[in-house]
Chains A and B, each alone.
Chain A
Amino acid sequence: MNQAIQQILTQKLLALADDELILAHRNSEWIGHAPILEEDIALANIAQDELGHANIWYELHQALTDDDPDELAFFREAAQFRNVQLVELPRGDWAFTMLRQYLFDAYELLLLDLLQHGRYQPLAQACAKVRNEEIYHLRHTSSWIKRLGLGTEESNRRTQAALDELWPFAQQLFVPLPGESILVDEKIVPNLGRLHESWLERVRPFLTAANLIIPTNQTPPTKNRSDHTNHLTTLLGDMQKVARLNREAVW
């Protein structure tokens, strides 16, 4: 692999990993707070899966850079994270969390469908396992969005409010990294523009059928994965706190 490809591939892997890590943390905040016990367990399960996926991408990243995944997770500052803003927003209400997870799952599953046929074998092979879990996540979140959208006046109102807020943020998932076209040309990762079209074809009719109105604003708040809201700083303060108490501690 030439150096230019390797450099952009490591950035891509870090972006994939950071999205999953931060989303996993936001979902984990529901532990002990979900509306019913069964959902508490289900969402903790989803959070743990996403954390597992993050770990897979960090390990692929490590194979190319030698960066320790724990170092990346616990000892970087907010500005060094490469996640989209969608995943760092506070967890909101149940509708907000479910809708964010649904929008992300729909994106991730389509991405994995294509990534698993990519030409970088370690990445392609890792997709198979992750994909089975994502199929289940999407089934779970789809079930919920359908019921929230078509449920009561209140559940529809809350889900619509979540969609109005999340829709522009979700579009950032489809903004390629600077230089990502090299990976597309090498058939290592799919073209995000086309992935975006597939995603819209999938989520638009689904959300409409759930009695939700697709917002017209489709402009992501930023196109740069180095830009973050202050929410990420708060989140990291919580997530990194224990690890930073004693850097030498063995777990």
Chain B
Amino acid sequence: MTDTQWPRYEVFKQDNPKKPHEAVGSVHAPDAELALQNARDVFVRRPSAVSLWVVKADNIFTMTREELEANPDFWLKISKAAGTPTTFHLFTKTSQRRSMTFVRHAGQIEAVTPELALREAIESGRFDADDVWVWWVVADEQLIRSGEDDIDTLFAPALDKTYRQQSHYGFVSPRRQKHGRQEK
């Protein structure tokens, strides 16, 4: 049977301009434009956001701590590719505490390949590599981003919605009514 599933795109959401983009999950879509739209519908209909990035899952180079430990000579196999360096984004998972978010944007590196970008990232000391459980490396040109112009139409309408958070439903609980807490 042929695979009729559309490609998977990973979605990164930025809650406000001071926070990094965080991976929030994935969507399927026939192309990048619809992936961005689907990401909006699936992940930011209610929560706050100022920016969304999507990237095709195939275009992410990933490496876990376990994989690095199991392959200590991984770095030896990387060919020193020649070419013009381009920008790669580094995403890292540094905590096991939150189950919902996976990796978050940690910075960028100029390199020729994603493998070399990762090596450079670890050796540079800029990324607290000892704390990292998972690395994702994505070439800048593979990231599809929402723009400034999208804020009003993609993200702002969510702010006026009544049922924004699950906790909203708590306000009509019988306990609140019994104890006479005023509803809005």
Which A residues contact B (CB, under 8 angstroms)?
36-39, 41-42, 45, 49, 129, 132-133, 135-136, 139-140, 143, 147
Contact = CB atoms under 8 A, between A and B. Distances in A.
A49 B42 CA distance: 15
B48 interface: no
Given A38-B42, A133-B157, 9 more contacts: A41-B38, A41-B41, A45-B41, A45-B45, A136-B153, A136-B154, A143-B33, A143-B34, A147-B30
B6 to A, nearest CB: 7
B101 interface: no
Contacts of A42: 37-38, 41
Contacts of B27: 38
B33 A132 contact: no
Interface residues of B, number: 19
A45 B44 CA distance: 11
B26 to A, nearest CB: 10
Contacts of B152: 132, 135
Interface in B20-49: 27-30, 33-34, 37-38, 40-42, 45
A158 to B, nearest CB: 16
A45 to B, nearest CB: 5
B183 interface: no
- A-B complex: 9 closest residue pairs judged by Cβ atoms: A38-B38, A42-B41, A135-B153, A136-B153, A132-B153, A133-B157, A41-B41, A38-B27, A45-B41
Interface in B147-183: 152-154, 156-157, 160
Given A45-B41, A45-B45, A36 B153 contact: no
Contacts of B37: 42, 139-140, 143
25 contacts: A36-B6, A36-B28, A39-B38, A41-B41, A41-B45, A42-B37, A42-B41, A45-B41, A45-B45, A49-B157, A129-B157, A129-B160, A132-B152, A132-B153, A132-B156, A132-B157, A133-B153, A135-B153, A136-B157, A139-B153, A140-B37, A140-B41, A143-B34, A143-B37, A147-B30
B149 to A, nearest CB: 10
A136 B154 CA distance: 7
A45 B157 CA distance: 12
Given A132-B152, A143-B34, A143-B37, A38 B157 contact: no
B36 to A, nearest CB: 10
A204 B28 CA distance: 30
Contacts of A38: 27-29, 38, 41-42
Contacts of A129: 157, 160
Interface in B82-134: none
Contacts of A140: 37, 41
A243 B152 CA distance: 35
Contacts of A135: 152-153
Q: Give the interface centre of B6, B34, B40, B41 by most chain A CB atoms within 10 Å.
A: B41
Contacts of B153: 132-133, 135-136, 139
